[in-house]
Structure 1
Amino acid sequence: MPTFVRSAALALAAALVLGGCGAEVAPQAGDAGSGGGHYPVTVENCGQKKTYDKAPQRVVTNDVGITEIMFSLGLEDHMAGYVMPDDKGDLTSVPWKGGYQKTKWLSKKGINKELVLDARADLVFAGWNYGFNEGEGFTPAELKKVGIDSYLLSESCRNGRGNARGIMTPLEALYTDLRNLGVIFDVEDRANTLIGTFQKQVAKAQANALKGADRPRVFLYDDGQDKPFTSGAYAGPHDIITKAGGDHVMKDLKDTWTTVGWETVVARDPEVIVINNYGDTSAAQKRKFLKSYPPLANVSAIKNDRIVVLDYVDLVESPRNPAAVASLAAALRNFGV
């Protein structure tokens, strides 16, 4: 493992332990959803007002970041289970391993209506392209027909331009969901404490990050060889890169996760490339491709071997985002671009 990758990994590990990414607000017995005078409550989710007469008791979540948002609030007792593939890293050493131990892993394949019906779900917490998909007939509207409510991941909100997603900055999306879930499950103090911890962690990382002309141009590489899949302004990597002291080269893309052309990447000449580590193609294989792909040969990040690896859950909306800011900030300082 190259030195800069080791540095990023070590910084992330330290942030998880010391920086508050894994800060858990200890739940008090019976405190989630037990306040009789609390309900009904109304929150705004992706532009829609939603009212709850009581706290959902059998939530099914889709994907690792969404699942860990619930765990970070101590809401595993309100969950029927979670759905995610087994390519999302080691789940036994994460800050919320207790949540994983207590909660049923319903499927390592895709989420669908039959699965949530079998789980007797009363709410599905997912997002557009984070489980919800018209092409597969799994949408909030379809679930409503069978009496199951939905909460949409704020990172995935559609912004009014077809299927383009994103209506707020990535960390604000995380804080919005934590606040909303705090209201829905009557754990507002817990949510506010967690948000405050995360904001302090991000502010500390920003204070120590590169600034001004020292900020390197950074490109997020998710996957793809003919065309790269990357992050626009509304997915997690934008805030992680920006607040870590980098200049996100795709900040003008008003979407979350999307495809661009290699010619655009070459023209913007990133000085650092961040690899999203997940899926059937390993980070090492992605790195090998980037280093050997002829059109990228003169890109600064490739010429100078400045490549950082972060895990999928660090980069999608999740309670690990603040630690990822600290980790990337340390890696960028180590490069000294």
Structure 2
Amino acid sequence: MNTTHRAAPAVLLLAGLALAGCSAATPADTISETPSASADAAYPVTVSSCGRDFTYEKAPSRVVLGNWRTLETLDALGVGDSVTGVVLGPDDRGQAPADLPAGVTVVSPDVIPAREPMIEAAPDLFLSFNEAQLVGQGTLSYDDLTGIGANAYVMGAYCAQPSGNQSIETVYADITNLGKIYDVPAKSDELNHELKDRVAAAKASLGGSTATVAFLKVVGGKVYAIGGYPASAFVEALGLTNEFADLPTPFAELNTEQALAMNPDIVFVNYVGDEQAAIADLAAALPDLAAVKEDRVYGANENLAQGSGVGIVNALEAIAADVKTVAP
């Protein structure tokens, strides 16, 4: 079985999150200047996220990240120094990364943060990676943030109310929105141009291949299929075919009929920690799958794109590199 280490998609918050497997809202989270804003004024500006409007009077300076990996995107925009705290991701096992910048503290070791430490951290923006972090069932809520004068923005439009799969445009929308929030529109435009060029180059590298790709996850011996974002964005942006484009939910257990019917050209099996073990688990669960027999299965580290933004494009490039090795 292929055990080459590659970047790959974040599964839509599998087990452990209140909104596990939720689909994201459309990438059309809007940006609009408030009626009082003049043509020359950057602020105030209103940016909507998951159906809620948030008004910014100035650039955020005390930002808590719902997943520390979002820092990569803020750094690319030149505003990473605004981050003062992070929430560890679902697969960080409560361990902060060794390269967390000086002065940035872990506000919560749990992916769903408690309200008290977040209030104590006094952010002016909580940059979430999933609206599950804001459900407020004894934990952090939108009202808690409002109470301390903080705004919220959900990266990747991972919202509680699903409205369909998303495209790679979600990444560009996030970066455009962050450009408005931080008043760095030229930098956000520059970054989007760079990312679009990288996506175009990754697609071109496949020579027009329309290979069928399946994204799978093995949990407790059961196989789950991933049809939603960011998997849906990868296959669309690269011109590939999504084995599970018609999945009724973005993430669902694979039934026997589906397992017998599928025949993808390449399989990405999502994992945390031990890539080879995840590939072996898939082989054990689906030993008769042609991709398993013919060494067309690749490991996909869930952590690598959980911060959305730039990480999604990094993952897309690595997926393209693996597809090239088996694409018809």
What TM-score comes out, normalization by structure 1 length? 0.75
Distance 1:156 1:288, change over 3 A: same
Gaps of 5+ in 2: 8-39
2:242 paired with 1:241: no
Larger mean Cα displacement after TM superposition, 127-136 or 73-82: 127-136
Distance 1:172 1:141, change over 3 A: farther
Q: For the Cα contact (< 8 Å) 2:267–2:298, is it kept in 1?
A: yes
Deviation, structure 1 residue 202 = 0.3
Q: For the Cα contact (< 8 Å) 1:170–1:239, is it kept in 2?
A: yes
Map of 1:16 onto structure 2: none
Q: Percent identity?
A: 23
Deviation, structure 1 residue 87 = 5.5
Q: For the Cα contact (< 8 Å) 2:119–2:144, is it kept in 1?
A: no
Distance 1:246 1:298, change over 3 A: farther
Task: Indicate which of 311, 314, 320 corresponds to 1:323.
Answer: 314
Deviation, structure 1 residue 69 = 2.7
Map of 1:149 onto structure 2: 151
2:200 paired with 1:208: no
Distance 1:193 1:69, change over 3 A: same
Map of 1:334 onto structure 2: 325
Letter in 2 for 1:261: L
Deviation, structure 1 residue 206 = 1.0
Deviation, structure 1 residue 51 = 1.8
In 2, the alpha carbon distance for the partners of 1:271 and 1:244 equals 14
Map of 1:289 onto structure 2: 281
Map of 2:65 onto structure 1: 61
Map of 2:82 onto structure 1: 78
Q: Tell me, what secondary structure is at the counterpart of 2:300?
A: strand
Task: Indicate which of 192, 197, 219 corresponds to 2:189.
Answer: 192
Map of 1:278 onto structure 2: 272
Map of 1:115 onto structure 2: 117
Q: Tell me, what secondary structure is at the counterpart of 2:48?
A: strand
- For residues 14-25 of structure 1, what are the structure 2 equivalents within 5 Å? none
How many residues end up aligned between the 2 structures? Answer: 291
Q: Note the alpha carbon deviations across 1:63-119, whole angstroms, 9 max, x for none.
A: 144333323322222222111143699966xxxx6x745533334333221121121
Gaps of 5+ in 1: 10-35, 160-164
- For residues 298-309 of structure 1, what are the structure 2 equivalents within 5 Å? 298-309=288-299
In 1, the alpha carbon distance for the partners of 2:56 and 2:129 equals 19
Deviation, structure 1 residue 217 = 2.0
Q: Tell me, what secondary structure is at the counterpart of 2:268?
A: strand
In 2, the alpha carbon distance for the partners of 1:209 and 1:74 equals 32
Letter in 2 for 1:319: V
Task: Indicate which of 265, 269, 281 corresponds to 2:263.
Answer: 269
Deviation, structure 1 residue 268 = 2.2
Letter in 1 for 2:264: P
Q: Tell me, what secondary structure is at the counterpart of 1:259?
A: strand
Map of 2:51 onto structure 1: 47
Deviation, structure 1 residue 272 = 1.5
Deviation, structure 1 residue 37 = 3.5
Q: For the Cα contact (< 8 Å) 1:205–1:243, is it kept in 2?
A: no
Q: Tell me, what secondary structure is at the counterpart of 2:168?
A: helix
Map of 1:5 onto structure 2: 4
Task: Indicate which of 166, 171, 176 corresponds to 1:169.
Answer: 166
Q: Note the alpha carbon deviations across 1:176-201, whole angstroms, 9 max, x for none.
A: 11111111111111111111100000
Q: Note the alpha carbon deviations across 1:31-80, whole angstroms, 9 max, x for none.
A: xxxxx932111223233333211122211111144333323322222222
Q: For the Cα contact (< 8 Å) 1:155–1:174, is it kept in 2?
A: no
Q: For the Cα contact (< 8 Å) 2:49–2:157, is it kept in 1?
A: no
Deviation, structure 1 residue 175 = 1.2
Stretches (4+) displaced over 6 A? none
Map of 1:103 onto structure 2: 104
Larger mean Cα displacement after TM superposition, 50-59 or 144-153: 144-153
Q: For the Cα contact (< 8 Å) 1:45–1:154, is it kept in 2?
A: no
Which structure features the higher share of helix residues?
A: 1
Distance 1:308 1:88, change over 3 A: farther
What TM-score comes out, normalization by structure 2 length? 0.77
Q: For the Cα contact (< 8 Å) 1:69–1:319, is it kept in 2?
A: yes
In 1, the alpha carbon distance for the partners of 2:268 and 2:94 equals 17
RMSD: 3.0
Map of 1:38 onto structure 2: 42
Distance 1:314 1:251, change over 3 A: farther
In 2, the alpha carbon distance for the partners of 1:320 and 1:158 equals 22
Q: For the Cα contact (< 8 Å) 2:64–2:86, is it kept in 1?
A: yes
Q: Tell me, what secondary structure is at the counterpart of 2:46?
A: strand
Distance 1:136 1:122, change over 3 A: same
Letter in 1 for 2:4: V
In 1, the alpha carbon distance for the partners of 2:4 and 2:239 equals 17
In 1, the alpha carbon distance for the partners of 2:74 and 2:84 equals 12
Letter in 1 for 2:157: E
